[in-house]
Structure 1
Amino acid sequence: MVLADFKEMAVEARLKVVPYSRCKYMELSSQVAACFNMSWQPEFQGKIKLAARPIFKVSNDAFESINAPLPKTPDGQCILPPGTVVGITRDYEYSAQVMALQTSGGVFENSLSDLTSLQKLAARRFQAAVIMSNDLEVRNRKAQQSGTEDTVRFAFNCGLVNSTIGFSLSHPDGLRALDIYDEGYRRIEANGVLERLRRRWFPE
């Protein structure tokens, strides 16, 4: 979608696939003009500006071991007992509900990816793992990808955040690229290109 957005504006964009933590570091240090997928955090103030429209919404989901289920509230709130070891992915931006787990005594342990967190959860190295899924994929997709779908499962939701592309305010091309991207998004949404891309990626 990002490439189609810039193409609509007759601009060639080059993508480089790197771990998200490196992507964010490169943008904060002005090595690249933009990085995705990002969700707003206070640390971005004055450094990164997000695109006007989200690419998708990200669900912050707590997963549990099937053989060691988590205690749950009757109304499914995002609450865990103090001392619960929770796997998260390093440098991801999480919802306020997830961060409240740490404030209330949860012990956060970093993994390199959501897939690694699920594998550690399956191995009982974590008691819970917070996994990101978006509104264009099934919630259990990463469990399938990590080979843990028979040992872990969704427990409860810990909120939604918007995820999009962020542009560096200090990179010489950052603000110009942001203006181009926002206008390109408006155009591909209006002319049907965005909807066709979504149908192609995620056919019903």
Structure 2
Amino acid sequence: MVAWISLPRFVAVCCVSLAVCFPVAAAPLDIMVEDAAEPFSKADGTGYANDVVRAAFAAVGVEVKLNVVPYSRCKALVLEGATSACFNMAWDPAFEGKVKFADEPLYRALGVYFQNKAQPLKVHSESELAAPLKVGIVKDYEYADTAMQTLKRGVAFIPSRTEQISLRRLAAGQLDAALVISNDLQGSQYWAESAGVARQVNVAFPSTHTLVFIGFSLRHPQGMWALEQFNQGYKLIRNNGTVQQLRAKWSSPAK
């Protein structure tokens, strides 16, 4: 005897079968990225670090969506476990048990102190900085231990939204110095030119190097899986020359 089923039931059975045979594509992995760290992560979502992160995940077949936000928000969300990852981060003891960095850094950064040419600093090294000096920094950035030691000597850190704002405040005489994160793709003078104050300020002396990473949340359900995928992907793009190609792209004077 032939068994008949209704058309709606037949359609439902077919849909279930197709869903089993052809699974729905996974949603892109949401990652937070800061918006004011040129040339690594720019406000328009482009940058060397952005390219590296996308390429690393693409190498292992993971699609990512980069959400561009101020660094303070990026940092807060990954610490809360509200996002799987954030970059560009340097280590801070506050991350212990909350954030785990990738195996390899995205890049190396160097802090440099700018001074006002009309009111130059009377000291010649970071180790001499002390009260009552006011030094401009970027809100919620992590700085090298040597820079943080100046706080114990009475230096006041004055936060701003971006490096450019900090340098403009220095040029206006509101600060004694500005601690700016430099890098080997642009050089130190880039920020002063970007801020439009290259004639009013110059580099006084360096701080020390820091390594900058993508950090993954230990609290987010996808955090550790995303970390594993990134580590695998980064090794692939480092070994096949992609990382060097991206460095060359963003080292170009045109950038």
Q: TM-score, normalised by structure 2?
A: 0.77
CA deviation digits over 1:166-201, x for unaligned, max 9? 000000010000011011110001111111111111
Is contact 1:78-1:158 (8 Å) kept? no
| CA deviations over 1:19-45 (Å, ceiling 9, x no partner) | 100100111111110000001110000
Structure 1 position 20 matched with structure 2 position 71: yes
Aligned partner of 1:39 in structure 2 is 90
Contact 1:63–1:152, Cα closer than 8 Å, also in 2: yes
Which residue in 2 is equivalent to 1:192?
241
CA distance in 2, matches of 1:32, 1:52: 19
The 5-angstrom pairing of residues 87-106 of structure 1 reads 87-106=136-155
* Mapped pair 1:71 → 2:115: no
Query: What's the offset of the Cα at 1:49?
Result: 0.3
AA partner of residue 179 (structure 1): E
- Map 1:120-199 → 2, pairs under 5 A: 120-199=169-248
Q: Distance in 2 between matches of 1:77 and 1:21?
A: 25
Between 1 and 2, higher relative CO (CA 8 Å, sep ≥ 6) is seen in 1
Name the amino acid aligned to 1:17: V
Superposed CA offset, 1:111-137 (max 9, x none): 111111001000010011100012222
Larger radius of gyration: 2
**In 2, distance between residues paired with 1:59 and 1:150?**
22
User: What CA distance in whole angstroms lies between the structure 2 residues aligned with 1:40 and 1:152?
Assistant: 29
Q: C-alpha displacement at 1:147, in angstroms? A: 0.4
- Distance apart, 1:90 and its partner CA: 0.8
**Aligned sequence identity (%):** 38
Q: Distance in 2 between matches of 1:77 and 1:121?
A: 17
2:107 to 56, 61, 66: 56
Q: Deviation above 4 Å: which 4+ runs of structure 1?
A: none
Is the 8 Å Cα contact of residues 95 and 159 (structure 1) preserved in structure 2? yes
Residue 77 of structure 1 deviates from its aligned partner by 4.4
TM-score by length of 1: 0.96
1:52-75, Cα deviation, whole Å (9 max, x unpaired): 1111111111110011111234xx
Question: Aligned equivalents of 1:134 and 1:34: distance in 2?
Answer: 23
SS of residue in 2 equivalent to 1:16: strand
> How far 1:203 sits from its partner (Å)?
2.9
> Quick check: 2:126–2:147 contact (8 Å CA) kept in 1?
no
Give the count of matched residue pairs.
202
